């Protein structure tokens, strides 16, 4: 019998490959250490023009980044030596299939309804008067399109026997996923009311929008509200408040909790579709405990939705491309349209979807011809879904990019001001902005901007594998999956932070978090496969156990940081937010029988969201000038509550001296009882009436 004799140099190549992988990881660990040690907020650290001059002075990120570049090259060389890098973790091919020609039944009716709604929403008065009817017609237009497409495609709902069979076949995967989701939910709900503390005023704005919908005051859900967001985006908060009651932070924050958990699911689905089950589980596990993601899953602002919409839309399109299914193209189109109804950052998901489709058209011969009708379904579904909002924006064009224009360094003068102050060129400023935005993922802190973390987003272990995953992805850039993954990671960093004022803009980079954990998971599995493919079963088991240990230690570090160091360090606390949050009990007691006067300038004002969310029925006024005449001019038919921030205590004492025998309150900060929070003084209507200046 003829035996196949491997080439003599094959064992050497394998040994060299494994050695290169080990050296790459050690080099990456060194790079991470150098970056952390050299991290600084001093001006010299961000003098881009002197980065290469300061290499030996540990005064720039270049030494650490250079070591990371070397580690990435070694990692790729190791994988090439082992011959497994180009297929690691890839389990699905993405091949177009020619669909059956689709004939629409109700598409004209659906499109006609969408056009009618757009005509009405273009007129704010008519839209407000017919808000509920327009909402129902909008849902009907989408429903008719769904019915038409699925009917013509011959779709049939699965029978109970088929569904049970599928569950039985995939029961182990489903049980693991459910356990992971339960853990993600638990991490996001523990002591939700008080961590992070306190409820910020932007959360109050979300609650205000929800109350407006619940009360029936806001009937046109396609109208633009706070932060250039349509009222549709407040519907989940209205549902949560309706179910949980109008209590403190819990009902507002539960929307973010659910969204964050769904982001773990959509990240799993995308990673499973493109890179396989192992990558999906690893990525979902990393995201479940990722402090950056966990934190915004517990804050009641809707920035977190970016981490849900991008993986969901990309998953639908990946399946649509692979299966050639009209249903998936339809679902992707609807999700694309819905992305415009929420936080502006979700628009990037649409750009990623467009990039994915263009790349598929350019790199897959015959794809456009084979999938043309399905692509038309995608576009039609997106247009019908977004039609009401197009009508709104047609008469309020400035609102569409209002939020983006206010933060863009090209429009708000920040770029010119930074160039003038630092003496850097525009290119150098943009480079500085990019690294200030990207390095918080691995080495820098993330000050202010709803997070204020003293630690980098990722732990040391996760940061190392993120950087190796980036090297792996750049090596495979021509692979559609890795191309879109890189665009997904860097898109929010560049558009959401590097090109905006005050980087890092933590709240605007959440869309990168699913891509970051997928990149890290890919590198972990590539390393595991490279080190274990040519070893015995015991060594392979040991390598797998080491990976499990690394993941477990990473989860421990993440959770102990967020629920320990971060919380006990009071990094999220803000005096103004605490005042608006903690004062809600004493203010809401007034009801319609009292008035609230805030002596809060220059820090706190009654326009802040929490005041209206917690006490919507109380009249509120800012009071800045404190004189006998100004107090005497106030209305005297209701009880008056005067509240002063700590720095305005003396002004409140004047009022107490002029109108004696009122109720004085002095409140300390909840977790810093040695510090004053606010002072309040309440007087009855009769006392006000008796006051003479």
Mean per-residue pLDDT, 382-408: 81
**Does residue 411 surpass a pLDDT of 80?**
no
Q: Which residue has the higher pLDDT, 195 or 91?
A: 195
Distance CA 598, CA 282 (A): 50
- The percentage of residues in the chain with a pLDDT greater than 70, rounded to a whole number, is 92
Position 280 confidence tier, pLDDT thresholds 50, 70, 90: very high
* Diameter over CA atoms, the chain: 116
Average per-residue pLDDT for the chain? 90
Q: Which residues contact 596 (CB under 8 A, 6 or more apart)?
A: 587, 590, 606, 611, 615, 618, 619, 620, 621, 641, 643
pLDDT given at position 515: 98
pLDDT given at position 542: 82
**Does residue 191 surpass a pLDDT of 50?**
yes
Residue 228: how many CA atoms within 13 Å on its side-chain side?
17
**Does residue 100 surpass a pLDDT of 70?**
no
Mean per-residue pLDDT, 428-447: 94
Q: To 10 degrees, what angle do helices 107-121 and 372-395 make?
A: 20
The three-state secondary structure class of 371 is coil
Tokens of 75: 């990692």
pLDDT given at position 422: 81
Cα dihedral sign, 136-140-143-145: negative
CB-based burial of residue 101 (10 Å sphere; 0-12 exposed, 13-18 middle, 19+ buried)?
A: exposed
**Does residue 58 surpass a pLDDT of 90?**
no
**Does residue 510 surpass a pLDDT of 90?**
yes
CB atoms under 10 Å from CB of 631, counted, come to 21
pLDDT given at position 67: 94
Tell me: the pLDDT tens digits for 213-228? 999 999 999 999 888 8
Strand partners, 683: 640
pLDDT given at position 5: 46
Mean per-residue pLDDT, 7-31: 80
| Helix H or strand E encompassing 681 | strand 676-683
Tokens of 392: 């709104």
Position 493 confidence tier, pLDDT thresholds 50, 70, 90: very high
Position 676 confidence tier, pLDDT thresholds 50, 70, 90: very high
pLDDT given at position 283: 97
Name the one residue in this structure whose structure tokens are 């805030």. Answer: 598
Q: To 10 degrees, what angle do helices 250-275 and 171-189 make?
A: 150
DSSP state of 638: S
Mean per-residue pLDDT, 46-69: 79
| Alpha carbon separation from 37 to 32, 43, 50, 611 (Å, rounded) | 9, 16, 19, 43
Pick the closest to residue 331 from 344, 315, 354 (CA basis).
Answer: 315
pLDDT given at position 126: 92
Tell me: the pLDDT tens digits for 110-148? 999 999 999 999 998 999 999 999 999 999 999 999 999
Alpha helices in 220-338 (DSSP H): 235-244, 250-275, 277-289, 291-296, 306-323, 326-338
Pick the closest to residue 512 from 286, 293, 256 (CA basis).
Answer: 293
Q: Which residue has the higher pLDDT, 99 or 352?
A: 352
pLDDT given at position 636: 92
The CATH code belonging to domain 575-690 is 3.40.1010
pLDDT given at position 50: 75
Distance CA 674, CA 512 (A): 39
Distance CA 291, CA 610 (A): 25
| Rg, the chain, Cα only | 29
Alpha helices in 341-401 (DSSP H): 347-363, 367-370, 372-395, 397-400
Tell me: the pLDDT tens digits for 362-388? 988 889 999 999 999 999 999 999 999
Position 299 confidence tier, pLDDT thresholds 50, 70, 90: very high
Q: What share of the chain is helix, strand, coil (3-state, %, to 5)?
A: 70, 5, 25
pTM of the model as a whole? 0.93
Q: In what order do the strands lie in the sheet with 663-668?
A: 619-622, 594-599, 639-644, 676-683, 663-668
Strand partners, 297: none
Position 51 confidence tier, pLDDT thresholds 50, 70, 90: confident
**Does residue 7 surpass a pLDDT of 80?**
no
Tell me: the pLDDT tens digits for 646-670? 999 999 999 999 999 999 999 999 9
CB-based burial of residue 280 (10 Å sphere; 0-12 exposed, 13-18 middle, 19+ buried)?
A: buried
Distance CA 71, CA 64 (A): 10
Mean per-residue pLDDT, 420-426: 85
Alpha helices in 122-249 (DSSP H): 124-129, 131-152, 160-169, 171-189, 201-215, 235-244
**Does residue 534 surpass a pLDDT of 80?**
no
**Does residue 6 surpass a pLDDT of 60?**
no
Tokens of 541: 């088991």
Q: Is 106 in contact with 144 (CB distance < 8 Å)?
A: yes
**Does residue 400 surpass a pLDDT of 70?**
no
pLDDT given at position 248: 83
Least-confidence region, from 254-263, 341-350, 457-466, 475-484: 341-350
Q: Is 680 in contact with 637 (CB distance < 8 Å)?
A: no
Tell me: the pLDDT tens digits for 139-189? 999 999 999 999 888 888 888 898 899 889 999 999 999 999 999 999 999
Domain definitions of the chain by residue range: 10-92+410-568, 575-690
pLDDT given at position 10: 57
């Amino acid at each position: 019998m003829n035996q196949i004799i491997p080439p003599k140099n094959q064992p050497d190549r394998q040994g060299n490959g494994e050695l290169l992988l080990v050296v790459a990881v050690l080099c990456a660990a060194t790079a991470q250490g150098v970056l952390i040690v050299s991290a600084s907020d001093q001006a010299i650290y961000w003098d881009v023009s002197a980065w290469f001059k300061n290499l030996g002075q540990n005064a720039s990120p270049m030494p650490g980044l250079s070591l990371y570049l070397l580690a990435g090259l070694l990692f790729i060389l190791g994988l090439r030596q082992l011959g497994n890098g180009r297929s690691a973790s890839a389990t699905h091919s993405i091949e177009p299939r020619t669909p059956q020609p689709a004939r629409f039944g109700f598409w004209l009716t659906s499109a006609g309804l969408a056009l009618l709604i757009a005509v009405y929403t273009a007129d704010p008065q008519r839209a407000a008067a017919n808000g509920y009817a327009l909402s129902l017609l909008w849902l009907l237009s989408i429903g008719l399109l769904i019915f038409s497409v699925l009917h013509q495609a011959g779709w049939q709902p699965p029978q109970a026997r088929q569904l049970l069979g599928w569950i039985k076949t995939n029961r182990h995967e489903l049980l693991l996923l459910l356990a992971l989701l339960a853990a993600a939910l638990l991490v996001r709900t523990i002591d939700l009311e008080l961590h992070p503390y306190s409820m910020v005023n932007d959360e109050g704005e979300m609650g205000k929008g929800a109350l407006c919908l619940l009360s029936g005051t806001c009937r046109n859900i396609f109208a633009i509200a706070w932060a250039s967001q349509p009222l549709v985006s407040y519907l989940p908060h209205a549902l949560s408040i309706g179910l949980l009651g109008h209590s403190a932070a819990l009902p507002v924050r539960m929307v973010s909790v659910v969204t964050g958990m769904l982001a773990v699911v959509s990240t799993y689905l995308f990673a499973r579709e493109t890179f396989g089950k192992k990558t999906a589980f690893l990525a979902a596990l990393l995201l479940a405990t990722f402090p950056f993601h966990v934190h915004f899953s517990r804050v009641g602002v809707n920035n977190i939705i970016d981490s849900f919409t991008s993986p969901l839309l990309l998953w639908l399109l990946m399946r649509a491309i692979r299966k050639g299914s009209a249903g998936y193209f339809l679902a992707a189109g609807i999700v694309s349209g819905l992305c415009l109804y929420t936080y502006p950052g979700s628009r990037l998901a649409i750009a990623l979807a467009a990039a994915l489709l263009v790349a598929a058209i350019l790199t897959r011969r015959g794809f456009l011809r084979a999938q043309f009708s399905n692509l038309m379904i995608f576009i039609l579904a997106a247009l019908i879904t977004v039609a009401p909002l197009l009508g709104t924006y047609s008469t309020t064009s400035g609102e569409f990019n209002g939020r983006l224009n206010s933060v863009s360094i090209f429009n708000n003068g920040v770029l010119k001001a930074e160039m003038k102050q630092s003496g850097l060129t525009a290119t150098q400023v943009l480079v500085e902005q990019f690294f200030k935005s990207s390095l918080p993922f691995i080495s820098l802190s993330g000050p202010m901007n709803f997070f204020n973390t003293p630690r980098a987003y990722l732990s040391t272990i996760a940061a190392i594998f993120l950087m190796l995953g980036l090297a792996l992805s750049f090596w495979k850039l021509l692979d559609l999956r890795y191309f879109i993954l890189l665009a997904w990671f860097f898109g929010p960093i560049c558009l959401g932070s590097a090109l905006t004022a005050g980087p890092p803009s933590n709240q605007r980079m959440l869309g990168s978090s699913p891509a970051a954990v997928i990149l890290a998971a890919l590198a972990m599995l590539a390393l595991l496969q490279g080190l274990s493919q040519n070893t015995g079963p015991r060594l392979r088991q040991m390598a797998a156990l080491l990976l499990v240990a690394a993941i477990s230690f990473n989860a421990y570090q993440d959770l102990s940081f967020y629920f320990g160091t971060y919380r006990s360090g009071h990094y999220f606390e803000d005096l103004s937010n605490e005042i608006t949050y903690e004062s809600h009990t004493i203010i809401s007691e007034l009801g319609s029988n009292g008035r609230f006067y805030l002596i809060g300038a220059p820090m706190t004002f009654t326009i802040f969201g929490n005041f209206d969310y917690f006490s919507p029925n109380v009249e509120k006024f800012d009071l800045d000038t404190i004189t006998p005449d100004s107090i005497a001019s106030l209305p005297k038919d209701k009880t008056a509550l005067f509240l002063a921030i700590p720095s305005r205590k003396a002004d409140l004492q004047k009022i107490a001296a002029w109108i004696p025998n009122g109720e004085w309150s002095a409140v300390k900060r909840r977790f810093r009882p040695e510090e004053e929070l606010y002072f309040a003084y309440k007087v009855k209507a009769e006392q006000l009436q008796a006051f003479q200046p």
